[in-house]
Amino acid sequence: RALVRPGGLWTSLDVVQRTGSTNTDLVASGGTEGAVLVAEEQSAGRGRLDRTWTAPARSGLFFSVLLTPGPAVPVARWGWLPLLAGVATATALSRAAGVDTALKWPNDLLVTVDGTERKTGGILAERAGDSVVVGIGLNVTLRADELPVPGAGSLALAGAQVLDRDPLLRAVLRSVEDWYGQWRAADGDPAACGLQDTYAAGCATLGRTVRAELPGGRALVGEAVAVDGDGRLVLATSEGVQEPVGAGDIVHLRP
Ligand code: BTN
């Protein structure tokens, strides 16, 4: 709770034992900027693309934050918020737990376990009026036989030095506060605050051949060559066309 301090971003921090989804609760709360809601357990955790997020009680971090970028940040740049949360979480995990994470576009957190990349965290951003609720889910203590999704990962499996959820939560919230402060000071310009470059440096999708499964059922195969100013993944297709992808599921095909 020391995170809630005068002049800081975080204005309230609530911890509940169990709820459906911290994102749903915070979207419905009509709360103000800086509200943080943490759940020890979620019964209806949600992911991107209408997926579910399932994790045993107290096995990880499940929380949401409410951010209100304000009129200085054009709405077109709000799409960077989930990517910003990914960068902030990756930075925090490396510093606080000595774990290297990579980002799979747009914001899945991958760790390497036994030479394979495994999803250990995810981020779901949703509009709530003038605000955006950013939810972060992170598998922390799960052992191989406890994984709710085959092939998933956890910080424990990745050899993290810290598995206490409190210090990890604090590190992630500090890092989000830091990155968000810089991004907002740059009026949301991801290049000006270093977000775009830091994202690209930590993104495991760039440089790979991927298949993008687009909303509506179309699929696109190409090499992921950049993340543009709007946070879209740019694919270079075999026809020599560069196509920005703003939403959809990405499958990594080749290194
Ligand atoms: C994804 O992998 O597609 C995103 C997963 C996001 C999960 C977090 S857990 C806290 C917050 N509440 C939810 O219902 N979802 C997010």
Closest residue by Cα to atom 8, ligand 1, is 137
Q: Is residue 3 part of a domain?
A: no
User: What is the chain's pLDDT, residue by residue, as a tens digit (255 residues)?
Assistant: 578 888 899 999 999 999 999 999 999 999 999 999 999 999 999 999 889 999 999 999 999 999 999 999 999 999 999 999 999 999 999 999 999 999 999 999 999 999 999 999 999 999 999 999 999 999 999 999 999 888 899 999 999 999 999 999 999 999 999 999 999 999 999 999 999 999 999 999 999 999 999 988 899 999 999 999 999 999 999 999 999 999 889 999 976
Above 0.95 for ipTM, yes or no? yes
Amino acid (one-letter) located at 176: V
Looking at the structure, tell me whether residues 162 and 225 fall in a common domain. Answer: no
Could you tell me the CATH number of the domain that includes residue 35?
3.30.930.10
Looking at the structure, tell me whether residues 193 and 137 fall in a common domain. Answer: yes
In the Cβ-directed half-sphere of 247, how many Cα atoms lie within 13 Å? Answer: 9
Q: Tokens 């902030």 label which residue?
A: 88
CA distance 106 to 122: 10
Q: Is the CB–ligand 1 distance for residue 46 below 6 Å? A: yes
Specify the 3-state DSSP secondary structure of 198.
helix
Looking at the structure, tell me whether residues 64 and 145 fall in a common domain. Answer: yes
Looking at the structure, tell me whether residues 120 and 237 fall in a common domain. Answer: no
Looking at the structure, tell me whether residues 193 and 220 fall in a common domain. Answer: no
Which of 18, 19, 23 has most ligand 1 atoms within 8 Å of CB, for mutation? 23
Q: Is the CB–ligand 1 distance for residue 124 below 6 Å? A: yes
Looking at the structure, tell me whether residues 71 and 183 fall in a common domain. Answer: yes
Q: Is the CB–ligand 1 distance for residue 80 below 6 Å? A: no
Looking at the structure, tell me whether residues 197 and 242 fall in a common domain. Answer: no
